[in-house]
Amino acid sequence: MRGGLWQLGQSITRRLGQSDKKTIARRCYASEADLKKTVLYDFHVAHGGKMVPFAGWSMPIQYKDSIMESTLNCRENGSLFDVSHMCGLSLKGKDSVAFLEKLVVADVAGLAPGTGSLTVFTNEKGGAIDDSVITKVTDDHIYLVVNAGCRDKDLAHIEEHMKAFKAKGGDVGWHIYDERSLLALQGPLAGPTLQYLTKEDLSKMYFGEFRIIDINGSKCFLTRTGYTGEDGFEISVPSENAVDLAKAILEKSEGKVRLTGLGARDSLRLEAGLCLYGNDMEQHITPVEAGLTWAIGKRRRAEGGFLGAEVILKQIADGPAIRRVGLFSAGPPARSHSEIQNESGESIGEVTSGGFSPCLKKNIAMGYVKSGLHKPGTKVKIAIRGKTYEGSITKMPFVATKYYKPT
């Protein structure tokens, strides 16, 4: 759900399918000089990071480990990702909740202070502008993180509606945290490793919770969340302290938590069945079609009040025309835009993300098919480079999630 498909250098694109290369060409900047760098750029290079263009930034695709090795190590031990290219911001003011509820499907008012949820920004047709993790810090303060590739359109969208809201007397303002960096610590050792660096009892902090605490000597925004299906945290840290925090995390784990790039991040999120905006979600796909009906609060279903509510609530009542599904397949891994066919060879949909699962040692993918043909166990064929291969629809996640929750 978070970020975008990795943008690889020439040496790595040779491993990818044609659809991936087209995605890269579409999203890469024309010149290396145009790319922005996070404060951890030199740290990545010093640790063997292979830097590639991604959403306008120079980011590590992998380090000395292969993408398969990095994926497995995250599930077995832990990974540290630099996700500072993503955009963190706060909405503040007594009407900040009411304002945000006009733009997203979540029941923001119903969140307890210090808790958050995945949500979707929608347009007038019910399509997804972006997905985001939002947190109600207090009743008049909302913290959220939006995807790097959607930053410009998201901020323009929020600003446009904020101006209209404030013109009618609404009390809301915002702050964009360009002075902060964002690290994602994921895997079984995430909690034990981070505990060395804070006095806060992390065993009492559950999935989806948010706190502002001291970590390694600096004031951080800590959310127990992530994009891998594993337990973990996203840490918003003042940029001047980001490198020291990364070093401390790696040192305290005694080498078991490793720096991990965007290649393994994509494998991990696919195994967890999580949407990738720009592939599995776009402006013509609604949250209902994407299988995110659960993110639409019960009160919001009853009251509406968000952009595209009429379309979305009708789909909840009547069912959508298409649905997102998981897929297993034979042959080469399915890639974005591979056609999905029924057993008679008729087109019923297309793949949006796919690859080889390092954990399952088999091909996995997700995509959209016509409603009624989406049930697990349904046999399909997937067309790849002019040939069709046997496949079947399956439940997601492909790899069981391990989010930290009360026992």
Annotated binding-site residues for substrate read 234
CA angle centred on 81, ends 75 and 87, rounded to 5°: 130
Q: How far is CA 231 from CA 74, 77, 239, 244, 296, in A?
A: 10, 11, 24, 23, 24
From the centroid of its chain, how far is CA 304?
Answer: 25
Map 149-210 to HEC letters: HHHHHHHHHHHHHHHHHHHCCCCCEEEECCCEEEEEEECCCHHHHHHCCCCCCHHHCCCCEE
Please, which residues bridge with residue 329 across strands? 363, 391
Amino acid 173 reads G
Parallel, antiparallel, or unpaired for β 257-259 and 379-384? unpaired
Q: How far is CA 396 from CA 5, 160, 365, in A?
A: 20, 36, 10
Residues tagged in the binding site annotation = 234
CA angle centred on 396, ends 393 and 397, rounded to 5°: 145
SS3 at position 391: strand
Which residues have C-beta within 8 Å of that of residue 144, sequence separation ≥ 6?
88, 89, 90, 91, 132, 133, 134, 135
CA angle centred on 83, ends 146 and 199, rounded to 5°: 100
From the centroid of its chain, how far is CA 342?
Answer: 30
Q: What secondary structure letter does DSSP report for 240? A: G
Burial zone of 254 (CB within 10 Å; 0-12 exposed, 13-18 middle, 19+ buried): exposed
SS3 at position 12: helix
CA torsion through residues 296, 300, 301, 304, sign = negative
- Which residue bears the tokens 């995945």? 118
